[in-house]
Amino acid sequence: MPTILVALQFGLIGLIAVRMEPARAGLAFWALLAAGVLVGAWALAANRPGNFNIRPEPKEGAVLVTHGPYRWVRHPMYLAVTIAMAAFCVAGDAWQWALLAALLGVLAAKAAREERGLAVAHPAFAGYRARTRAILPFIF
């Protein structure tokens, strides 16, 4: 199941990206893309080397990160992907927005699976989960 979720994630990212119309890449595209890259870089900087995992399973010996962007969302890398893919949607068509909704569903499924493992690995996770959103600050 984890491999399927990762494959779906990258497949949807690819479909969203290839449908982009370069002529429509205006200011909104570049602003969203830059915001997605910045959030992703911030999340990587807040995480220690070796703690990050693309599969929705905590790595053995990983620590629970609750600072940096993790202070507001439990999965800032998923937020970064969502923002960056929204950039491609504003420079594309309605199908891309539907693909982005599907991508959010896949990311939510990955987050739920990962959180089951985090709850077992880190006793402090329950409190952290109660005070933060999963992917979208103030929303979800």
| Residue-wise pLDDT tens digits, 82-93 | 999 999 999 989
| Residue-wise pLDDT tens digits, 34-70 | 999 999 999 999 997 778 788 888 888 888 999 999 9
Residue 138 region, left (φ>0) first, then alpha (ψ -120 to 50), else beta? left
What confidence score (pLDDT) does residue 51 get? Answer: 81
What confidence score (pLDDT) does residue 48 get? Answer: 78
Length reported for the chain: 140
What confidence score (pLDDT) does residue 138 get? Answer: 78
Rounded Cα distance, 118 and 101, in Å: 25
Give me the percent of the chain exceeding a pLDDT of 70.
100
What confidence score (pLDDT) does residue 110 get? Answer: 96
Q: What is the DSSP string of the chain?
A: -HHHHHHHHHHHHHHHHHT--GGG--HHHHHHHHHHHHHHHHHHHHSPTT---SSSSPPTTPPPP-SGGGGTBS-HHHHHHHHHHHHHHHTS-HHHHHHHHHHHHHHHHHHHHHHHHHHHH-TTHHHHHHHSBSSSTTT-
| Residue-wise pLDDT tens digits, 1-12 | 789 999 999 999
